Amino acid sequence: MRTPAAGAPAIRTEGLTKRYGTVVGLDALDLQVQRGEVFGYLGPNGAGKTTTIRLLLGLLRPTAGRVEVLGVDAVADPRRAHRRLAYVAGDVALWPGLTGEETLHLLGRVHGSLDRAYRDELVERFELDPSRRVRAYSKGNRQKLALIGALMTRADLLVLDEPTAGLDPLMEQVFRACVREAAERGQTVFLSSHVLSEVEALCGRVAILRAGRLVSSGTLAEMRWDGALAVEASFDAGQAVPDVSAVPGVLDPVVDGAVLRCRVSGSVAPLLAALAAAGAVRVASREPTLEELFLAHYDQP
Amino acid sequence: MRSALVLGLAGGAVVGLAAEGYVLAYPDPADRAVVAASIGGNPGLAALFGTPRALETVAGFTEWRVLGVLPLVGAVWALLAGTAALRGEEDAGRWDVLLAGPRSRRATTGWGLAGLGLSLLVLAVATTVTAVGTGARALDLAGTLWTAAALLVAPAVLLAVAAVCSQLGGTRGQALQLGAAVLGAAYLLRVAGTAVDGLEWLGWLSPLGWVDRVAPLTEPDGLPLAVAGVATVALAGLGALLAGRRDAGAGLLAGRRPPRSRTALLSGSLGLAARLARGAGIGWLVGLAVVGVVLGLVAPTASEALADSQLDLGLPSAGVGGGVPAFLGAVFLLVTLLLTLQAAGQAAAARDEEEAGRLDTLLALPVGRLRWLGGRLAVGAALLAAGGVVAGVAAWAGTVLGDTEQPLGELVAAGLTPVPAALVVLGLGALVLGVAPRWTSLAAYGYVAAAFLLEILGGLFGLPEAVLGLSVFHQVPLVPAVDPEPATAVATAAVAALLAGAGSLALVRRDVSRD
């Protein structure tokens, strides 16, 4: 058995495919997540995010392709891969008869690595009362319990599948702080989410999934560079607002009184020339938000 | 609803089959007189299976045979179905969705009860139609209809008991335990009322005593039916009333004291499996101990009759000598049934862990699928073996109390004899879990039910050995009436191991799936 190369990526998939009969859950996914990065995995419900995660956990058998976790084949040797990984499901399933304390004990013991001091610190920061039974916890408290259970292992790779569904805004802040700390310590975080603000705040690189296929991936800066710029130009009252729909690169121009809004892909020079010629008094532009980038991938049929 | 239909069809069919079987097995009045004399004069058998009346007639024998066993099955179904409908949904959180709408908890319980009423109606129609259909040749119509009504007493009352317990217990599991305690008490009251002179009135306190008093095929009496009807409505009403007085997700009895964390077992998947099986397992062992003591206690009186005649009770006891060992050998069939049902339950629990997503949580840790299944099967097997020992020791204690002490070793051997058969059910469950996980529970319980019916009725119809052999019950020698058969035990256990091994191979090759 070869030992995983120290430099192997945290996650690497090659042509990873899962079909359920004729339904395609995931279609030839090629993905690399480097060590130490916080990677955002985006997509609407049913796009294949959870299928990807269940494949990389070895819970599903791939129809085709390979998936490696920290250099270990996740299908052939899931146990070895899981010693260095911790997972939180979006729909947390724990044993209703166990108390929070018992659950954390179990998760720590079975995982094999546990930072007790950090566990106690996390329990405090997430304001969890670990003496109650799991069945008595609210959904948010169960989510906190699972998050503590994953973070306290200080595993090299954290696989988080929509981990903040059910957390209140305060706990969401605690979660973000914990993810940043994990990244600072060199842990890798694979964060599947459709909370775009969360991804924008935490992730360096992002992949967007649609109907089982990767439609875009890269750093947020790269994606913004590729995305259309939003431009807003104002004119004096009584001044004619020019028609810019024929200007190269201009998308979706909308005139609202004396204000023109549009998006520009590629160079802004032609538009600026047209606006200057028409005597615009103010021009503002901003980079697209992740939400706009995300939605742009789903507008097209 | 589906389970009510299956139970009704099977229960109704047993009525007709028992009657036809009696006609076939004892065509001649002289044989029937022997049957009547030996069972009729026997307080032990009456205590276990209810009051015998007019056993020399088809109607009388059918009544005794049918009402001795089926009401217990119906009662267990009612507890499972009732707590599932009224607590299972709630435990799974689906209730919150309903309560969030413009409905009160009482109304929601009311709707749950209405659904259960509908299940009861399905059960009634299925039982009646099948009983009338199968019993047409041997029984008269009025008697058959009375029988169907008598068969509904236990399910109806116990559904209402389940409704009350569902409000008292903090979880479905606790509700089920309370209900099982009520059923156990009802059975013991019925036993005491039938067995002890002067305490007959005790039977009026037990739904199973009401069933006994309906005497549908011999001296039909409507009063117990009326009592049962009133009790059902009153208990169901009480359940709905109590439902308005508790919090969702809580019980009226439970949940006051904070739970104590016990982490001793929780260091691996084997320990977790043991911890998860602990609560229900202990309750089951206590129940088994009670059954064992009762069997041992009534063995002396019951066995006198058996010693006198080579009587075929439809229990497979004929031709194995006489005395207390013969009786115990025959009625240990009941222990076999309890062990196999536990085995089916263990298989169903494994699938439940997968379906609820908890298996994902476990397998995302460094735990292999084989280790998980192996741990669950090991705990199941250990529980079954413990059950065998407990039943044997309890039966021995019963014979000591009844002043007919039998050798402890023999009775423990008798208790352990059905364990390999139960392991086969566990192995079958593992196989289905590997190959067709969605069907695990149905296949395991369904096989136990089918195998049990085949064993108790197949003999009356003279079915060939090859067919009877399909039932695991047929592979259980009647220890202590005969010597233990180590070779059979090893062979049966080997079959179980093969099934479990095949299931494990299939499990590692398939997707882990919540649906």
pLDDT (tens digit, 9 = 90+) per residue, B133-142? Answer: 888 888 899 9
| B377, B470, B473, B499 from B425: Cα distances, Å | 11, 12, 11, 9
Q: State how far the Cα of A261 lies from the Cα of A251, in Å rounded to an integer.
A: 10
**Any domain includes A166:** yes
pLDDT in tens, B401-455: 877 888 999 999 999 999 999 999 999 999 999 999 999 999 999 999 899 888 8
pLDDT in tens, B489-514: 999 999 999 999 999 999 999 999 98
Cβ atoms of B414 and B395 closer than 8 Å = yes
The burial of B213, by beta-carbon neighbours within 10 Å (0-12 exposed, 13-18 middle, 19 or more buried), is given as buried
**Any domain includes A4:** no
Same domain, A164 and A287: no
What integer is the mean pLDDT of A102-111? 96
What is the average pLDDT score of chain B? 85
Cβ atoms of B424 and B492 closer than 8 Å = yes
Sign of CA dihedral A149, A155, A160, A166: positive
C-alpha of B252 from chain center: 28
Provide the pLDDT for residue B106.
72
Provide the pLDDT for residue A170.
94
Q: State how far the Cα of B23 lies from the Cα of B21, in Å rounded to an integer.
A: 5
pLDDT in tens, B5-54: 888 888 888 888 888 888 888 888 888 887 787 777 666 677 778 888 88
Phi-psi region of B54 (alpha: psi -120 to 50; beta: other; left: phi over 0): left
Residue of B nearest to A159 (CA): B364
**Any domain includes A3:** no
Q: Parallel, antiparallel, or unpaired: how do β-strands A11-20 and A23-33 relate?
A: antiparallel
End-to-end C-alpha distance for chain A, whole angstroms: 47
**Any domain includes A1:** no
**Any domain includes A2:** no
Per-range mean pLDDT, top range of A11-15, A230-234, B320-324: A11-15
More confident residue, B126 or B479: B126
Same domain, A248 and A131: no
Provide the pLDDT for residue B323.
67
**Would you place residue B99 in the very low, low, confident or very high pLDDT band (cuts 50, 70, 90)?**
low
Place of tokens 């089959």: B17
Task: Answer whether B258 sits within 8 Å of A131, measured CB to CB.
Answer: yes
Q: Spell B250-269 as b/e; 16+ CB within 10 A means b.
A: bbeeebeeebebebebbebb
**Would you place residue A197 in the very low, low, confident or very high pLDDT band (cuts 50, 70, 90)?**
confident
Residue of B nearest to A81 (CA): B366
Could you tell me which of B238, B236, B13 has the C-alpha nearest to residue B134? B13
> How many angstroms away from the CA of B14 is the closest CA of chain A?
39
Rounded percentage of chain B residues whose pLDDT exceeds 70: 88
Q: State how far the Cα of A11 lies from the Cα of A18, in Å rounded to an integer.
A: 17
| Interface with B, mutate which of A106, A116, A160, A162 (most B CBs under 10 A) | A106
Provide the pLDDT for residue A6.
62
Tokens of B499: 């099934």
What is the average pLDDT score of chain A? 90
Q: State how far the Cα of B235 lies from the Cα of B230, in Å rounded to an integer.
A: 9
Q: State how far the Cα of B360 lies from the Cα of A92, in Å rounded to an integer.
A: 10
Same domain, A248 and A206: no
Tokens of B387: 């059950």
253-272 of B, contacting A, C-beta below 8 A: 255, 258-259, 261-263, 266-269, 272
160-199 of B, contacting A, C-beta below 8 A: 171, 173
Task: Answer whether A54 sits within 8 Å of B360, measured CB to CB.
Answer: yes
* Least CB–CB distance from B361: residue in A61, A89, A101: A89
pLDDT of A178 > 60? The answer is yes
The helix or strand, by DSSP H or E, that contains position A19, with its residue range, turns out to be: strand A11-20
Tell me whether 0.90 is exceeded by the ipTM: no
* Least CB–CB distance from B367: residue in A79, A87, A93: A79
> How many angstroms away from the CA of B381 is the closest CA of chain A?
22
Cβ atoms of B114 and B194 closer than 8 Å = no
Provide the pLDDT for residue B138.
87
Cβ atoms of A124 and A174 closer than 8 Å = no
Helix, strand and coil percent figures for chain B, each rounded to 5: 75, 0, 25
Provide the pLDDT for residue B317.
42
| CATH code of residue A149 | 3.40.50.300
Put the strands of the sheet holding A229-234 in their side by side order.
A250-256, A259-264, A229-234, A282-286
> How many angstroms away from the CA of A93 is the closest CA of chain B?
5
Sign of CA dihedral B456, B457, B461, B467: negative
Rounded percentage of chain A residues whose pLDDT exceeds 70: 97
Task: Answer whether A97 sits within 8 Å of B279, measured CB to CB.
Answer: yes
Task: Answer whether A89 sits within 8 Å of B509, measured CB to CB.
Answer: no
Final residue before a domain boundary, out of A200, A220, A240: A220
Backbone angles phi, psi at B140, to 5 degrees: -85, 155
Partners of A147 on chain B (C-beta within 8 Å) are none
**Any domain includes A273:** yes
Q: State how far the Cα of A82 lies from the Cα of A80, in Å rounded to an integer.
A: 5
Alpha helices for chain A (secondary structure H):
49-56, 78-82, 100-111, 116-125, 139-151, 169-184, 196-202, 220-226, 269-278, 290-299
B220 cis-preceded (ω within 30 degrees of 0): no
Provide the pLDDT for residue B309.
44
Residue of B nearest to A138 (CA): B93
Provide the pLDDT for residue A171.
95
Provide the pLDDT for residue B163.
92
Tokens of A132: 């109650």
Per-range mean pLDDT, top range of B278-282, B291-295, B373-377: B373-377
Same domain, A110 and A63: yes
pLDDT in tens, B142-187: 999 999 999 999 999 999 999 999 888 877 878 888 898 899 889 8
Q: Please indicate if any CB of chain B lies within 8 Å of the CB of A211.
A: no
What integer is the mean pLDDT of B302-326? 52
Q: State how far the Cα of A101 lies from the Cα of A109, in Å rounded to an integer.
A: 12
Same domain, A132 and A243: no
Q: Please indicate if any CB of chain B lies within 8 Å of the CB of A78.
A: yes
The burial of B25, by beta-carbon neighbours within 10 Å (0-12 exposed, 13-18 middle, 19 or more buried), is given as middle
Same domain, A175 and A238: no
Partners of A119 on chain B (C-beta within 8 Å) are none
Same domain, A172 and A246: no
Same domain, A203 and A269: no
Task: Answer whether B259 sits within 8 Å of A131, measured CB to CB.
Answer: yes
pLDDT in tens, B181-240: 899 889 888 887 887 777 788 889 999 999 999 999 999 999 999 999 999 999 999 998
Final residue before a domain boundary, out of A181, A198, A220: A220
Q: State how far the Cα of B279 lies from the Cα of A280, in Å rounded to an integer.
A: 78
What integer is the mean pLDDT of A39-55? 92
Could you tell me which of B485, B359, B70 has the C-alpha nearest to residue A57? B359
Backbone angles phi, psi at A23, to 5 degrees: -80, 130
Partners of A86 on chain B (C-beta within 8 Å) are 364
Task: Answer whether A91 sits within 8 Å of B368, measured CB to CB.
Answer: no
Task: Answer whether B510 sits within 8 Å of A98, measured CB to CB.
Answer: no
Q: Please indicate if any CB of chain A lies within 8 Å of the CB of B96.
A: no
Could you tell me which of B390, B347, B389 has the C-alpha nearest to residue B496? B347
Same domain, A49 and A116: yes
Same domain, A129 and A54: yes
Cβ atoms of A167 and A179 closer than 8 Å = no
Q: Please indicate if any CB of chain A lies within 8 Å of the CB of B247.
A: no
Q: State how far the Cα of B315 lies from the Cα of B278, in Å rounded to an integer.
A: 33
> How many angstroms away from the CA of A128 is the closest CA of chain B?
15
What integer is the mean pLDDT of B265-285? 91
Domain count, chain A: 2
| CATH code of residue A264 | 3.30.70
* Strands, E assignment, B201-319: none
Q: State how far the Cα of B37 lies from the Cα of B301, in Å rounded to an integer.
A: 14
**Any domain includes A6:** no
Final residue before a domain boundary, out of A160, A193, A220: A220
Task: Answer whether A83 sits within 8 Å of B366, measured CB to CB.
Answer: yes
Rg over alpha carbons for chain A, rounded to the nearest Å, is: 23
Partners of B365 on chain A (C-beta within 8 Å) are 82, 107, 110-111
For A269, the domain range is: 227-299
* Least CB–CB distance from A93: residue in B91, B259, B356: B356
Provide the pLDDT for residue A225.
74
Q: State how far the Cα of B79 lies from the Cα of B477, in Å rounded to an integer.
A: 32
**Any domain includes A5:** no
**Would you place residue B271 in the very low, low, confident or very high pLDDT band (cuts 50, 70, 90)?**
very high
Same domain, A40 and A126: yes
Q: Which of B33-42, B274-283, B375-384 has the lowest mean pLDDT?
A: B33-42
Partners of B90 on chain A (C-beta within 8 Å) are none
Same domain, A169 and A232: no
